[in-house]
Amino acid sequence: MDSIGLGNGEGLMRLTTEDRVEEAIEAVRSGKVIAVPTDTLYGFACDACSVEAVRRIYEIKGRKYTSPLAICVADVHDIQHFAATNHLPLGLLESLLPGPVTVVLRRGDSSVLEKSLNPGLDSIGVRVPDSDFIRAIARGSRTALALTSANLSGQPSSVDVKDFEDLWKHCAYIYNGGVLPSGRAGSTVVDLTKQGKYKILRPGSAKEETVAILERHSLIDENSSVVS
């Protein structure tokens, strides 16, 4: 069965099929929150430039407004519209992404992100998941998606839609991509705000591969470069 409704106009369960992409795009454009699988965990997603939709995600998760949200874009070349990338070695982002990595970059003066997203922070975490479905939604929405794990704050991350069943009713659609194979570690988060350096903020599910790519591009671990 492709669709299961909860009877209240929200919480419609869908499969992650190509013919559902337009429906998801329309939901995002309408300021709704959707639940969608990535290459690591299930996440809540919405238009990152919609103040109301972003507020809704915080309410669903019971998350403090001081905890920043990451964004998801469709393709690596989209990142430059939302964050500063000129200081990075040529080809680095293309080597890391798409994949289970969140890169933290400075927004820069030219970022089109709303100032209301993560107010007070001059950096932003950016994802390009290795997942065609969510990337198609981001591409069709022509914006960045605010993205965070589909769970209550402080609770285990979700690798199956059943893991966050109590929260289905708060989403316009829940897109079921089956049980995700990555475990619950989430993406590897790496700070790339400083030229020539990197800092792993969360080991996540791909730390070793990520560090190997960073060092191949001659970046130095910020922690190891401190002179005692």
DSSP for 84-143? --TTSPTTHHHHH-SSSEEEEEE--TT--S-TTSSTT-SEEEEE--S-HHHHHHHHHHTS
Alpha-carbon distance of 21 to 36, in angstroms, equals: 11
- pLDDT above 70 for 67: yes
- pLDDT above 70 for 8: no
- pLDDT above 50 for 51: yes
| Eight-state DSSP code of residue 2 | -
In CATH terms, is domain 3-221 a member of 3.90.870.10?
Answer: yes
β-pairing verdict for 197-202 and 123-127: unpaired
Amino acid at 156: P
β-pairing verdict for 123-127 and 188-191: unpaired
Q: What are phi and psi of 227, to 5 degrees?
A: -85, 125
Provide the percentage of residues in the chain whose pLDDT is more than 90: 85
The three-class DSSP label of residue 184 is coil
Q: Where are the domains of the chain?
A: 3-221
Amino acid at 96: L
With b meaning 16 or more CB within 10 Å and e meaning fewer, what string describes 78-111?
A: bbbebbbbeebeeebbebbbbbbbbbbbbbbeeb
Stated pTM of the model: 0.93
Average pLDDT over residues 109-132: 92
